[in-house]
Amino acid sequence: MKRVTRALAVVLSTAMVIASLAGCGGQSTKSNTFKIGGIGPTTGAAAVYGLAVKNGADLAIKEINAAGGINGYQIEYNFQDDELDAEKSVNAYNALKDWGMDILVGSVTSGCCVAVAAESVNDNMFQLTPSGSAVDCIANKNVFQVCFTDPNQGIGSAAYIGDNKLASKVAVIYDSSDVYSSGIYAKFAAEAENQPFEIVAAEAFTSDSKTDFSVQLQKAADNGAELVFLPIYYTEASLILTQAASAGYDFKFFGCDGLDGILGVENFDTSLAEGVMLLTPFAADATDEKTQAFVKAYEEAYGETPNQFAADAYDAVYIIKAAIEKAGAKPNMSVSELGDALEKAMTEITVDGLTGLSMKWTEDGAVNKAPKAMIIKDGNYSLIQ
């Protein structure tokens, strides 16, 4: 027994020595480039998301380097796989630190992001997650988000409907058994108080009763709703659209990013979705110049159409560039100094990106951006100008 303990002690102390050496190594390789690390699942169940982020950031970094870098400094890029596992995500973070990372883009998914954020706060490493949407991701002061938090979609939707005077009477149909949907609804209802429209019907359904929506639609009609807000996923939305059409109701429909994908439902009559509006950060077939240029470059480089995650990552790199320029930061600053400088700069910059115009950040790390509204026209998503 004693021998085992002693052996263990030797192993542990060796490990500590190696770890501290590695730490020193990380500090001593300060060079004349900004080292941006990325973490996300490039294999496994969520590989689509991780690969999109990896490529999206890669594309932006290549563009920036080709145009002369940030403040004259080039960017080095290293992306690590976390296989959608929080523990592996933290390991990837440590590996990137050893490599000499200055700034982190990641993690891609909410769960991993929360785990890495708990580590990165100790180093005051500047961390920008392209797509971790949970509120917990940005609990620490060093973490910022590119995507909307779930509740913010509710506020954004209410503000959009109010500002554009889409309707004066609004009905909501939401899934009370789902955090995404009920979270958006709660914020939407709170924000609606400040808006020039009235919620005349708020009807719920649950995962056990999501086939018949006749009652919810009838109640919306009885209460004189002109617009129905659908903070739900596209499967149920396709049912609601079909039932509304067959019962002869004439509503405007408005949704969030959960509706993104409704045109992809197999055999769905896309004419039913004609005129449906949705707030989604990005749609590859949007017709604005910036999106088209990005989609073209991405398709040429990686041979596939970029999704929302690729756009989020592309924006993330340009946001970092804007923050570094604002702060006048240099690569020879320590990780913590850089963190302080960028955290301050983040609250001062405004960035126009693919996933939102005039993006601004508050100290808590949440993004405030004018959401992009899409309308479904001729079977395609198109940006409302």
Partner 1 sequence: MSFLTYLINGISLGSVYAIIALGYTMVYGIAKMLNFAHGDVIMIGCYVVFTVVSTLSLPTWLGMILAIVLCTALGITIEAIAYRPLRQAKSSLAVLITAIGVSYLLQNVALLIFGANTKSFSSVVNIEPIKLFASTGNAGLTVTGETVVTISACIVIMVLLTLFVNKTRAGQAMLAVSEDNGAAQLMGINVNATISLTFAIGSALAAVAGMLLCSSYPALTPYTGSMPGIKAFVAAVFGGIGSIPGAFIGGILLGIIEILSKAYISSQLSDAIVFLVLIIVLLLKPTGILGRKIQEKV
Tokens of 11: 């192993």
Complex with partner 1: residue 242 or 382, whichever CB lies closer: 242
Between CA 275 and CA 295 the distance in angstroms is: 24
Tokens of 95: 């590996």
Single out the segment in contact with partner 1 by CB under 8 A; choices: 64-72, 141-149, 190-198, 262-270. Answer: 262-270
CB of 232 to partner 1, least distance (A): 12
Complex with partner 1: residue 206 or 292, whichever CB lies closer: 206
Tokens of 301: 């480089």
CB of 259 to partner 1, least distance (A): 13
Would you count residue 22 as binding partner 1 (CB under 8 A)? no
Contact between 42 and 54 under an 8 Å Cβ cutoff? The reply is yes
Site for partner 1, residues 60 to 79, rule: CB under 8 A:
none
Between CA 242 and CA 236 the distance in angstroms is: 10
Would you count residue 271 as binding partner 1 (CB under 8 A)? no
Would you count residue 204 as binding partner 1 (CB under 8 A)? yes
Q: 206 in the Ramachandran plot: left (φ > 0), alpha (ψ -120 to 50) or beta?
A: beta
Would you count residue 203 as binding partner 1 (CB under 8 A)? yes
CB of 381 to partner 1, least distance (A): 18
- Cite the DSSP H helix spans in 67-178: 86-99, 110-123, 150-163
Between CA 328 and CA 139 the distance in angstroms is: 26
Complex with partner 1: residue 210 or 326, whichever CB lies closer: 210
Between CA 12 and CA 25 the distance in angstroms is: 20
Would you count residue 181 as binding partner 1 (CB under 8 A)? no
CB of 317 to partner 1, least distance (A): 32
Complex with partner 1: residue 272 or 374, whichever CB lies closer: 272
Would you count residue 274 as binding partner 1 (CB under 8 A)? no
β-partners of residue 173 are 203
Sequence-distant (6+) residues with CB within 8 A of 66 are none
Q: Could you say which of 45, 211, 300, 385 contacts partner 1 (CB under 8 A)?
A: 211
Would you count residue 265 as binding partner 1 (CB under 8 A)? yes
Would you count residue 166 as binding partner 1 (CB under 8 A)? no
Complex with partner 1: residue 242 or 336, whichever CB lies closer: 242
Would you count residue 253 as binding partner 1 (CB under 8 A)? no
Would you count residue 362 as binding partner 1 (CB under 8 A)? no
CB of 198 to partner 1, least distance (A): 17
- Helix (H) / strand (E) element for 180: namely helix 179-192
Between CA 78 and CA 58 the distance in angstroms is: 9
| b/e sequence 70-83, b meaning 16+ C-beta within 10 Å | beebbbbbebbbbb
287 phi and psi angles, rounded to 5 deg: -100, 5
Between CA 121 and CA 149 the distance in angstroms is: 20
Would you count residue 168 as binding partner 1 (CB under 8 A)? no
Complex with partner 1: residue 150 or 236, whichever CB lies closer: 236
Would you count residue 87 as binding partner 1 (CB under 8 A)? no
Would you count residue 31 as binding partner 1 (CB under 8 A)? no
Would you count residue 254 as binding partner 1 (CB under 8 A)? no
Would you count residue 289 as binding partner 1 (CB under 8 A)? no
| Collapsed DSSP state (helix, strand, coil) of residue 248 | coil
The residue type at 27? Q
Would you count residue 45 as binding partner 1 (CB under 8 A)? no
Contact between 111 and 46 under an 8 Å Cβ cutoff? The reply is no
Terminal C-alpha separation, the chain = 74
Q: For residue 66, how many other CB atoms are within 10 A of its CB?
A: 9
Complex with partner 1: residue 242 or 380, whichever CB lies closer: 242
Q: Which residues bind partner 1 (CB under 8 A)?
A: 176, 203-206, 208-209, 211-212, 214-216, 218-219, 221-222, 224, 234-236, 238-239, 242-243, 246-251, 264-269
